Amino acid sequence: MKIILFLVAFVSLTMAQTPTLQKNRQVFLDFRIDRKLNDIKIPPALERSVLSKLFRKYLRDSNRCNSNFDASDGTDPLAAARKAGEIVPSIIDMTTGSFTAAGQMQTLYVISVSECNASHADNFGTKRVAIFSGQQLVANVDTDFASSIVRKTDLDRDGIDELLMTTGDMAQGTVTEMATLVSFQNGRRRVIQDFGAVVEDSCASEAPGSTSEASVIYMSETLVGMPKLTQENYSAPCKGKTRRWKLVSRGKRG
């Protein structure tokens, strides 16, 4: 009888504790789930207005790139191209919120600078974030090649939005996606957390042993300050109608 009562008490205690453990963290972003590509449509007049405030000189068509322009002798060919106006910039993503200070109504644009001499090794050119308050440009910063806004949030509840941004690449049938949580408070880019590679999918290569690897980012519950963000990394075989994900590691992938 004592054994039965002990088992009942143990099961009851376990059941009571399980919801608490689940509540201690929430999924911030699950990279195992396919996401739709951002399909923004910027009116040409608006795009010209934004770009003209960022660049003194630029091209509107890649066919107009000067084939005789050569910056290979310099230490930074991309910077040389920007200085010469040998760029074909465009807006590739945008969102609204309060980014440089609390209580602001701002528009944030992600710009692909597309330097004329940028190659695959250069991620086809630098990327920038431009933040406007109305018609006034209040921030213009390099994104370290981050090109997509995955999620906007205010994790520490200070009235200033943070962005989870990604950059992607594909080489020899392997898709890689890197993620970073950043803020632009006071007009400066600050990395809050670098998650490294959150997707590495080699299924398209059809090479033996190809796998799909993806991360899940969790956040802890907190009433004050920035919550703790943790990362779990999963792997699944390419074959099969449904992917069977297996936990392989925790933390930033090396």
Domain membership flag for residue 11: no
pTM: 0.86
Count of all residues that appear for the chain in the document: 254
Which pLDDT does position 46 carry in this prediction?
96
241 pLDDT more than 70: yes
Is residue 17 in a domain?
no
Domain that holds residue 147: 24-250
Q: Which of 66-80, 91-105, 147-161, 224-238 has the lowest mean pLDDT?
A: 66-80
How far is residue 199's CA from residue 168's CA, in Å, rounded to a whole number?
9
What's residue 40's pLDDT? Answer: 87
CA 254, CA 252: separation in Å to the nearest integer? 6
More confident position, 18 or 78:
78
Going by C-alpha positions, the residue among 116, 120, 127 that lies closest to residue 163 is 127
Does pLDDT of 8 surpass 50? no
How much of the chain, in percent, has pLDDT values that exceed 70? 90
Is 188 within a domain? Answer: yes
* Total structural domains within the chain: 1
- Is residue 22 pLDDT above 50, yes or no? no
- Identify whether 195 is part of a domain: yes
Domain assignment of residue 16, yes or no: no
